[in-house]
Every structure is written in C-alpha cells, then in structure tokens.
Amino acid sequence: MAENILIVDDEKPVRQLLEKILKKAGYHCTQAANAADARRCLEDQIFDLILSDIVMPGESGIDFIRYVSKGYPDIAAIMVTGIDNIQKADEALRAGVFGYIIKPFDEAQILISVHNALRQRQLKIENRQYLENLEKKIQERTDDLRESGKQLKEAHVKATRLLASITSIIIALDLEDKIVEWNRCAEKSFGLTRDTVIGKKLSECPIGWETEKVLREIGLCKTSGQRGTLDDVRLTQQNKKERLLGISFNPVLGVSGKIRGVLIYASDITKRRHLESQLAQALKLESIGQLAAGIAHEINTPTQYVGDNTRFLQEAFEDMDRAFKSYGQLFEAVKKNAVTDNIIQEVEKVIRETDLVYLIEEVPTAIGQTLEGVERVSKIVRSMKEFSHPGVDERTSVDINKALESTITVARNEWKYVADMKTDFDPGMPLVSCSPGELNQVFLNIIINAAHAISDVVDNGSGKKGIIKINTRSNGHSVEIRISDTGGGIPEKIQPRIFDPFFTTKQVGKGTGQGLAISHSVIVEKHGGSMGFETKMGKGTTFIIQLPVLSEGM
Amino acid sequence: MKKQILFVDDEPLILQGLKRMLRGLRSEWDMTFVQSGAEALEKMVGAPFDVIVSDMRMPEMDGSQLLDTVKHRYPNMVRVVLSGHSEEEMIMKTVKSAHQFISKPCNAETLKSTISRMFALREVLTQEGLKRLVSRIESLPSLPSLYTQVVELIQSPNSSIKKIGEVISKDLAMTAKILQLVNSAFFGIPRQISNPAQAVGLLGLDTVKALVLTIGIFSKFEQKQLAHFGIETLWNHSIKTGAIAKKVADKESADKHLSDNAFMAGLLHDVGKLVLVANVPDKYEEVIETIKDQNITLNQAEQLVFGATHADVGAYLTGLWGLPDAIVEAVAFHHRPEICLSNDMIPLTFVHIADGLEHHGNGTLSMEAPILKIDYGYLQKLGWVEKIPEWLKTCAENKEEGKNDG
Ligand SMILES: Nc1ncnc2c1ncn2[C@@H]1O[C@H](COP(=O)(O)OP(=O)(O)OP(=O)(O)O)[C@@H](O)[C@H]1O
Ligand SMILES: [Fe+2]
Ligand SMILES: [Fe+2]
Ligand SMILES: [Mg+2]
C-alpha cells in the first residue's frame, strides 16, 4: 500500500514540486496551505508522514508538528524549510521531527529523507507494539496474581520466573523511589545485584545512564498518573560498553485507584539501532552509484588519450610508409647503381615533409602512453570489482594494503582536485580476517571526509592542494591504518559527536552524517577493532583504525 | 596568419595526446598546450588566441572560472569546453561561459570539425567590435509573453514536453538557445537537431527546468521600445517566414528533416536584427533613419552604420553557438543565395523564398509587380521561376488559415 503523505507549505509551487517528486516515487500525497488546513486534513485521513514548512502564515510549522506528535504519535514528520538555522533545527528535532531538509532541495534528498523517516517510524511503531505486548502480558499476570489468593504462591514463583526470563529490564519503585523489584536483566545490564539495590532509592544506585532524564520522567509519571517513555537513553556499562535503552514508565495503581509506585521497563535497543545503521549502510552501498560519475570521468580521461594517440599512430604509420617507400626507391637505385640527384632530393623532401625525425622519436612515446592508458582503465575496472566486493558480510582474509589501494583508485575523482595522495604501506602486513566490502566502505568514508575537510580549506583561501596520507603498520597481532589530512581539524565542541548517527556539519546533499557512525560500528562492533582520531585545529586530522589480525568471536 | 589555439587540461597525457592527434593540422593551426588555468591566463597576456579549449574540472582554477575570466578579458576568443564530466552541475556551471561543449572521449573528427568551423566563422564577421558583442551574449531576449508562458508551463505539474516545445518554437531567442544546448556534444546527443520539441525531449524536462529556472538561460525583452522598430513585427515576420519556408518545402516534397530545418532557419533568419536591437538599440535606430534619409536598402544602411549586415551578425551568433551548419548557412546568405553554388534544395533555398514572399506578403502580389526581394537568377538556376504564382497561392492560404485561427 502506498504511504500517505501530507505536504504543508504556504507556497504552492513548493507543494506541487514535492507532490510531483513523491508521486513519481509511488507515494500518495495531500496538500495543505497552512497549519489550520493541515489540522483539518488530519481529521479526515490517516497519514504516515508529514512534510512541513517552518515559517507559514498562522501557526508555525514547529508548533504544528508539536500538535501532531501529541495527537498523532504514529505520524512521522520532516521539516522542509528555507531557514538554514541550527537553532531551528534543534527546536524541530525536539518537537519530534525525523528529518530536516533545507530548500532548495533536490529530488534525491527528498526521497532519501522520506524513505529514512518512514523506516524510522516503522521501527518505532514496531518497538512500541512490542513493549505494549510485553506490558500487557505482565499486566495480565499481575492481574491474575491479584485476583486469586489461592494461587498466590505459585503465581509468585511464576512471576519471578517470568521477570527473570524477560530480556528487558524491569524495575519497580514505590512512591519514595525505593526499589522493590529488580530483575535479572537489570542485574546484568547495570552490573548491580538485586540484593544490593532492593530498598535503596534509585537515585542512590550507581547507574551510568542519563539519571536526570530518567528521574524527571519518573516524577512526571507519579504526578500525572500517565505512562511516559524515553527513547535512546544512553547507558555506559561498567565494562565501558555503550548501549541505548528505550524506557517506558508505567504507573502502578492500587485497588483504590491511587498511585502506588512506578514500573520501569527498559529494553536494549542498541541492536535495533545497529540494524538501522546496517540498513543505512545498504543505502550507503548505493553510494557507489554516486561514485559512478567520478569513475566514468576517470575512465574517460585515458580513453580520450588512448584514442588520440592511436589516431596519431595511424597517421604516423602512413607517413612512415611514405618514407619507407621513398627509401625503397633509393635502395633500388643504389642496387642498380643509378642514384641521381633527383632521387636523393626526393628522399630528403619526404623526410622533411613527414617530419620523420620527430616521428621516430614520438611514436614509441605514443605507444607507451597508449599502453599506460589501457592499463589505467583496467586498473580502475579491477579496483571497482575489488571495492564493491560481492557478499559484503562474508569474512575472508583481506590484504588491507590492496583494499586501500582499490578504494583510493575508485575514489580518485573525489580527492584528486583538492589533494595529493601519499601512501606508506607496511609491506609485511598480515592478511586480516574481515569483510572487505564493509571495510572498503569505512576507508572510502574516511578518505572522502578528508577530501571534504581539505576542500574547505582550499576553497577558503590557500588555493593550493592539500595532502592525504595513508599509512599501514602491523605488529603481528593487530594492524593499524592511519588516514591523515591537512584539513581544518575537528573543533573540540563537536569532537564527542562525530560518531553519532546523523551528525553532520556538511550541507544537505554533501553529507548525511552516517559515515562515521557506520564506520565505527563496522570496526568496533563487527570486527572487534578500535577507531579513534587525533586532530589539531588548522593542521588537520588523523583517523586511526586498529584491527585484530584474527578477530575474536566471529 | 596561422590560427592561434590554446588547450588547457590538468592531465598532461591528454594534452600530449591532443597534440599528436592534431599534428596533421600543424601547418594551419598554432597550438599551445598548458596544464592550468593560471598558466593559460599568463599565456594570453600579449598573445591573444582565437580559440580556447578547456577542461572543466581542474585543481585550483576550474574551467568555468577560467572561461569566465576569458570572457571578460578577451571576449573575442571562442570558448569551448572539452570535459569528461557529464554531471549536471558542471553543465549548469559552464552553460553561460562557453560557446560550445564537447564531451570526452571525443573522436578526432568532432574536435577538428568543431574547431575548424570556429575558425571559418571568424571570416564571416570581420568587425572586431561586433564579434566582441556577439561573443559576450549568453542569451537573447524573448518576447515577454512567450517567456512568461514557457516559465509557467515549466513550473506547472501537468505540462508536457510537446507544449513547451511548441511555445519555444514561436520564439527565436529561446529556439536559438535550446538548439545551442542540444547540438553541443556535451549532452551526448548526435549533432544537428533542429526541432525545439525534440530538443526539450532530449535534454529532459528536469534539465530544462533547472536551466530555465535556476540558471536563467532564457530572458525577457526589457529594452525600451524603439520608435521605428517593432519587436512584435520582427517576431511576426520570423514566425511567418518559418511557416512559409516549411510550407514551400513540403510542397516541393522536401523530406522531414529538410522541412524542419527550413522552418527553424526561417524562424531564425533575422536573428541578427534581434542581436543588434537588443544590444545597440540606438545604433539600430540610426540604421532606420539612414534608410529614410538616404533612400537606401536596409542592408546598405546596416553596412554604413555597422560595417556588416544583420545576416552576418546572425550567422556569427548561430555559428558560434554550434547550430546546424544548414541553419547557419541559411541565416548568413538569406539575402544572397547565389553565393551558395549548390543547385540542391537546402534550407537556404526555402528561407530565401519565404523571406521574399513574407516581406512582400502584406501587399497584393501579381506577376506584373515583380517581387524585388527574390533572386530570380537563383530561382532560374533551380528552374523554379514558374512556381512563384503557386507559392503565392500557398502563402495566401497560409494567411487565411492564420486569420481563421484568430
Ligand atoms: N577529516 C575530518 N576533518 C574534519 N572534520 C571531519 C573529518 N571527518 C569527519 N569530520 C566531521 O565529522 C562529521 C561526521 O562525519 P561523517 O562521515 O559521519 O558524516 P558526513 O561526512 O557529514 O556525511 P556522510 O559520511 O554520511 O556522507 C562531519 O560532518 C565533519 O564535521
Ligand atoms: Fe533579413
Ligand atoms: Fe527577413
Ligand atoms: Mg563522511
């Protein structure tokens, strides 16, 4: 079934352009010229997604989206606006927006954002349904429990078992925030045993999550008696692993209907987020399509000069043939001992006219460059094959140097106008067990990031090309890849955020902010390696990747 | 003097390849090869070139920056892009600074013939001032009503390529520009297309939309109206000449391609007038006054004022923009077809006839009142003099039809 999209914008041409793009992609669209109009549409139809302008006469797009996310939480929203303003973006994101598109936009941007938002929404709905189911089940059990005094004991055992077997965190608090229930999953996730926490206040427990946010939500739940949720709560476990939790806060009502406490369900959504980023990665792989234009250019260049040189060789051959014939005549004359001044002059004339001396010097070079051109084309084709390695997920023994080489080649058109490439590869690199397709994707992203960083400095003044340096080293157990650029560096303020999904400082169309998030998960999660960076403002940045030669546990 | 030509490309192997490939022309062309925009600009100081052929993407100064600079410093130089990039962005970037576009890889013939044609063109117009004027032109002004129509059609969700093509083919300015684009080898389309609807179709609605709405390849006539020269009259005459040329071509059973070309050439034959009126209106006013004062023909007056006629100017523009040769030829010689030695039916044949019939078409014509503007010698050579009455009838029908249309 086609998704139903509501387009809200006060400018008719914008609405129509959006509708045209979306219709072509098979979505169903409805237009509204302002928020009031849009509110009416919401009453008549069910929508999956809203694309809304920010600045409109009447209610602003952001207020409208706030209204939507309260009343219609299942509708995803994307802001489309002419205002290029981080603050507004933040405000919009807080209002529950999935994406943010700045006018003017192009078709691809729209389609990618819509596709992403719809996918995110789907995942969110599924997750909620899952949680709700779970809650229902527990509620049923709890009801049973309350209902039959006879089966109390048995039920208690069941409930405990159930609580233990549930793979979500379950914590029950009384009105004073003292912990009354703490299941096995909670023990595991927080590294705190049931015995040590029961009876303690939640705020007193050393849990590495966003405590303030959680406590605020518990307070809200208690005062309002309403269910509340928090998405994407960060948890740093004791082993320093980062997890993401989706948490719901449920009021527990006594027989009288009065609140007795709060039940907290939290599920680990890290995996799901990874799934999402893998999906994103699938999208990324399509980005080879983006490289295609550059690769075509890389191939067009040698094709041009191979053609030119061959054409020259053809003409040169004709000239040489002429010279050869005239020498032939001279030879015949010599044999017959009948050499005349005429014949000699003729030979001289031909040599002069055909520029024979030049030809003899030039033809070998032309042949050499032709062969070089052919080699260049086949190298590109070979690299493309290696780069888009079939079976992305398959682990094989990979020659990292070669993988880097082919990534550098396919991406050449992306960096060559702004930077020179310097490589220093350890010839003794061992083969590394990994999935080459994914690894290439990581290298590609870092190289392109480097090119972008340099291009910003080049555009802003110096005009001179920068340098991208790639080193590899190995100590036998692990390998290290360092990719340095001479760009502007990463400002301290954004350093902690660059690995976040969808964090980008680039213009729409140039970056989606998924590159480093995906790279990080590929290197750390999938390959048990590490990934970090060193940076100095005004000097440049080095990304450092370490990979175990034999990745453990996979 | 040998023709001076400058090649710019950041890839030295490309330059060497070109140099060898074009070696056969070394006695006619003086070729210089440089690796960057900065070097190119340096070379130009003191030693002007006739043609510059530049790569598009280069480090530091890219092709569009270079050609832009050249356009301002040396407007006379013919600017050609030779690029391996087909990205829309690049096309959009150079559409205004280059006269012609060739895509890599291109074969030797395409390159040689494009450049040779540019050189031949330098002879068509000898007035340096006029050359400079024409070389600078990015777009010609359209009739405001037609321009608005096209912009509206392009933005409307249910516009069709056919409709857009139809409106464009009523406007000489937009027709000329769209033919320039589609006939460039940049779009990977075989040369010599002479039908705007087909051209819009080949470029694709999205590209045309971007070109019109964001790059602004079309523009609107905004100059003050001249006292003695009506823009509408020029448009009327152009459209009618095109229509008659096509009618006569069809009557003489020309094939579809020739008949299309005849229409296009007819529409564009007086494009030189538009160039002059739009860019040097005061001088054109002077031309018209001179005609009256001295009782001479338009061509003579133009010669007096500019040292060239509107046919020369039009031919230079259409040639510079790489329009099909047959159209350039028709524009160049529409007043003096005898210059063309061929006895075949070519667009020029029909444009000359149609122009004569149309210029005269407002009065009543008879065999007794000879049609001054048609070259009888030329018609005689073709054996077509007897056909004139029949054509006149066709024209009259055409007029009737026009009336019925309102
Ligand atoms: N080498 C670098 N120098 C300076 N800043 C960098 C560098 N690499 C990454 N960054 C910063 O980190 C941000 C996130 O990078 P990331 O690769 O995740 O996303 P992106 O490049 O913006 O978009 P995408 O890779 O999805 O196209 C960038 O927007 C940029 O601000
Ligand atoms: Fe004329
Ligand atoms: Fe005319
Ligand atoms: Mg990136």
Q: Which residues are within 8 A (CB) of B380 and not within 5 positions of it... i.e. 6 or more apart? A: none
Q: Which residue from B275, B326, B315 is spatially nearest to B141, judged by alpha carbons? A: B275
Q: Which numbered ligand comes closest to the C-alpha of B234? A: 3
Distance from CA of A510 to the nearest CA of B (A): 13
Give the B window 23-42 contacts with A, CB below 8 Å: 23-24
Rounded to the nearest angstrom, the distance between the alpha carbon of B259 and the centre of ligand 3 is 18
Give the number of other Cβ atoms within 10 Å of residue B2's Cβ. Answer: 12
CA distance A385 to A171: 52
CATH homologous superfamily, domain A388-548: Histidine kinase-like ATPase, C-terminal domain (3.30.565.10)
Assess if residue B34 is contained within a domain. Answer: yes
**A425 CB within 6 A, ligand 1:** no
CA distance A8 to A21: 15
Assess if residue B292 is contained within a domain. Answer: yes
Q: Is the previous residue joined to B105 through a cis bond, with omega within 30 degrees of 0?
A: yes
Q: Which of A415, A498, A543 to mutate to test the pocket of ligand 1 (most atoms within 8 A of CB)?
A: A498
Give the β-pairing of B29-34 and B78-83. unpaired
Q: Which of B20, B86, B214 sits opposite A309 (nearest CB)?
A: B20
Q: What is the pLDDT at residue A547?
A: 94
Q: What is the pLDDT at residue A70?
A: 82
The phi and psi torsions of A346 (rounded to 5 degrees) equal: -60, -45
Q: How many residues does chain B have?
A: 406
pLDDT digits (tens, 9 = 90+) for B100-119: 888 888 888 888 888 888 88
Q: Which of A116, A516, A545 to mutate to test the pocket of ligand 1 (most atoms within 8 A of CB)?
A: A516
**A441 CB within 6 A, ligand 1:** no
Q: What is the pLDDT at residue B404?
A: 42
Q: Whose CA is nearest to atom 31 of ligand 1?
A: A505
CA distance A392 to A442: 12
List, as one string, the DSSP characters of B115-165.
HHHHHHHHHH---HHHHHHHHH-S-PEEPHHHHHHHHHHHHSTT--HHHHH
CA distance B55 to B63: 6
The phi and psi torsions of B73 (rounded to 5 degrees) equal: -80, -40
Could you please state the CATH topology (level 3) that the domain comprising A4-125 is classified under.
Answer: Rossmann fold (3.40.50)
CA distance A68 to A64: 6
CATH of the domain at B395: 1.10.3210.10
Report whether A516 contacts A499 (CB < 8 A): yes
CB proximity B104 to A under 8 Å? yes
Rounded to the nearest angstrom, the distance between the alpha carbon of B355 and the centre of ligand 2 is 7
Q: Which numbered ligand comes closest to the C-alpha of B244? A: 3
Residues of B in contact with A302 (CB under 8 A): 13
Give the number of other Cβ atoms within 10 Å of residue B53's Cβ. Answer: 26
Q: Which of B14, B23, B57 sits opposite A312 (nearest CB)?
A: B23
Is the domain of B248 the same as that of B200?
no
Assess if residue B326 is contained within a domain. Answer: yes
Q: Which residues are within 8 A (CB) of A378 and not within 5 positions of it... i.e. 6 or more apart? A: none
Q: Which numbered ligand comes closest to the C-alpha of B358? A: 3
Which residue of chain A comes nearest to B88, CA vs CA? Answer: A293
Q: What is the pLDDT at residue A149?
A: 54
The yes-or-no answer to whether A4-125 and A388-548 have a common fold is: no
Assess if residue B134 is contained within a domain. Answer: no
Is the domain of B118 the same as that of B45?
yes
Residues of B in contact with A307 (CB under 8 A): 17, 21, 105, 107-108
CA distance B279 to B48: 25
Of the spans A238-242, B187-191, B229-233, which averages the highest pLDDT? B229-233
Distance from CA of B85 to the nearest CA of A (A): 6
Q: Which numbered ligand comes closest to the C-alpha of B172? A: 3
Is the domain of B184 the same as that of B245?
no
CATH of the domain at B21: 3.40.50.2300
The phi and psi torsions of A268 (rounded to 5 degrees) equal: -80, 110
Q: Does pLDDT of B122 surpass 60?
A: yes
Crossing angle for the helix pair B310-320 and B108-124, to the nearest 10 degrees: 160
Rounded to the nearest angstrom, the distance between the alpha carbon of A465 and the centre of ligand 4 is 20
CA distance B301 to A488: 63
Assess if residue B199 is contained within a domain. Answer: yes
Residue A466 pairs with which residues in a beta bridge? A419
pLDDT digits (tens, 9 = 90+) for B324-349: 888 999 999 998 888 777 778 889 98
Assess if residue B137 is contained within a domain. Answer: no
Q: The pTM is what?
A: 0.65
Q: What is the pLDDT at residue B42?
A: 94
End-to-end CA, chain A: 39
Measured on CA atoms in the order A285, A286, A290, A292, is the torsion positive or negative? positive
Is the domain of B285 the same as that of B153?
no
DSSP three-state, residue A4: strand
Widest pairwise Cα distance in chain B: 70
Assess if residue B169 is contained within a domain. Answer: yes
CA distance B303 to B312: 10
Interchain contact, B104 vs A293, CB within 8 Å: no
Q: What is the pLDDT at residue B46?
A: 82
Q: Is the previous residue joined to A104 through a cis bond, with omega within 30 degrees of 0?
A: yes
Is the domain of B292 the same as that of B359?
yes
Label residue A424 exposed, middle or buried (CB < 10 Å: 0-12, 13-18, 19+): exposed
**A62 CB within 6 A, ligand 1:** no
Q: What is the pLDDT at residue B405?
A: 40
Q: Per-residue pLDDT averaged across B267-277, rounded?
A: 93
Contacts 24+ apart (CB under 8 A), A14-21: A14/A53, A14/A80, A14/A103, A16/B155, A16/B157, A18/A51, A18/A80, A18/A110, A19/B157, A20/B157, A21/A107, A21/A110, A21/A111
Report the half-sphere exposure of A25 (CA within 13 A, side-chain side): 19
- When the pLDDT of each residue in chain B is averaged and rounded to a whole number, the result is 83
Interchain contact, B20 vs A297, CB within 8 Å: no
Q: Whose CA is nearest to atom 11 of ligand 1?
A: A498
Report whether A404 contacts A450 (CB < 8 A): no
**A414 CB within 6 A, ligand 1:** no
Report whether B86 contacts B186 (CB < 8 A): yes
DSSP-derived letter for residue A82 is S
Q: Which domain holds residue B255?
A: 227-405
What tokens does B168 get? 């464009």
B322: left (phi over 0), alpha (psi -120 to 50) or beta: left
Residue A229 pairs with which residues in a beta bridge? A248
Atom index in ligand 1 nearest the CA of residue A516 equals 18
**Cα dist. A321→A69, A354, A420, B27 in Å?**
82, 10, 44, 21
Disruptive mutation site among A21, A295, A301 for chain B (greatest number of B CBs within 10 Å): A301
Mean pLDDT by 10 residues, chain A (554 residues): 85 85 87 90 88 84 84 84 65 73 76 83 79 74 60 61 73 88 86 88 87 88 85 81 84 79 84 64 56 82 92 93 92 90 90 89 94 91 77 75 92 90 94 87 92 86 84 92 95 89 77 83 88 94 93 44
Higher pLDDT, A212 or B192: A212
DSSP-derived letter for residue A552 is T
**Cα dist. A136→A73, A129, A130, A300, B388 in Å?**
20, 10, 10, 63, 95
Total structural domains in chain B?
Answer: 3
Is the domain of B272 the same as that of B210?
no
Strands (E), A281-383: none
Q: What is the pLDDT at residue A384?
A: 82
Report whether B95 contacts B137 (CB < 8 A): no
Assigned architecture for domain A166-273 = 2-Layer Sandwich (3.30)
Label residue A222 exposed, middle or buried (CB < 10 Å: 0-12, 13-18, 19+): middle
Q: Which residue from B129, B290, B307, B279 is spatially nearest to B219, judged by alpha carbons? A: B279
Is the domain of B243 the same as that of B358?
yes
Is the domain of B233 the same as that of B369?
yes
Ion ligand 3: residues, CB < 5 A: B 270, 355
Q: Which of A482, A486, A504 to mutate to test the pocket of ligand 1 (most atoms within 8 A of CB)?
A: A504
What tokens does B191 get? 């040369």
Q: What is the pLDDT at residue A309?
A: 93
What tokens does B185 get? 């080898």
Report whether A77 contacts A97 (CB < 8 A): yes
Is the domain of B238 the same as that of B216?
no
Q: Which of B169, B187, B220 is the last residue in one of the domains?
A: B220
Interchain contact, B60 vs A300, CB within 8 Å: no
Report the half-sphere exposure of B97 (CA within 13 A, side-chain side): 25
CB proximity B16 to A under 8 Å? yes
Crossing angle for the helix pair B12-21 and B108-124, to the nearest 10 degrees: 70
H or E segment to which residue A313 belongs: helix A288-335
CA distance A155 to A140: 12
Atom index in ligand 1 nearest the CA of residue A510 equals 27
Is the domain of B155 the same as that of B267?
no
Report whether A313 contacts A293 (CB < 8 A): no
Q: Which of A104, A362, A417 sits opposite B59 (nearest CB)?
A: A417
Is the domain of B245 the same as that of B388?
yes
The residues spanned by each domain of chain A are: 4-125, 166-273, 293-376, 388-548
Assess if residue B138 is contained within a domain. Answer: no
Is the domain of B189 the same as that of B326?
no
Q: Which of A300, A365, A416 sits opposite B105 (nearest CB)?
A: A300
**A449 CB within 6 A, ligand 1:** yes
Angle at A459 between CA A456 and CA A465, to 5 degrees: 85
Where b means 16+ CB within 10 Å and e means fewer, B336-357 reads ebeebeeeebbbbbbbbbbbbb
Q: Does pLDDT of B363 surpass 50?
A: no
Residue whose entry in the numeric block shows the structure tokens 């309403």:
A226
Helices within A99-250 (DSSP H only): 107-147, 152-165, 184-190, 194-197, 211-224
End-to-end CA, chain B: 56
Amino acid at A264: I
